[in-house]
Structure 1
Amino acid sequence: MLSDENRALLRLMRDRQPRTLQELAELSGRAASNLSRTLRNLEQHGLVRLHRSPDTRAVRPEALATEFLVVLD
């Protein structure tokens, strides 16, 4: 879930604030289909919000969490 690649993606979303999924795909160098699947998974875990435009097919991704504390006991 919080792989190095996914954490880098969350930081990229926080820093660059892409307006569309396609823009994020270009910024990250990942295929849009692969990225879409990853973002849906992160959204289900409350780490990302995908804002869907009612009048277009555009989706604006928003990182909700970019810092994590891991506690091992």
Structure 2
Amino acid sequence: MDLKTYLKTSGVRQQHFAALVGRTQGYVSRIASGECFLGAATALKWAAATEYQVTPHDLRPDLYPNPKDGVPDRNAA
């Protein structure tokens, strides 16, 4: 799911998510609207902040072309 949908359906406010990822609400808004893009490492961090409901692929499909790219294997020991 994309970030905009995640924020809308999860009830997480942009301001809270911004604090979680160490950015401003305005920056989160620009990312959610597709106005600007995250770097590879930041996409991983933001995906983790959503507990991978938004994947790195959702955030940057050009850098993470496969839907499971960047998502930890929950079955790994």
TM-score by length of 2: 0.33
RCO higher in 1 or 2 (8 Å CA, sep ≥ 6)? 1
Task: Give the number of the structure whose residues are more often strand, by fraction.
Answer: 1
TM-score by length of 1: 0.35
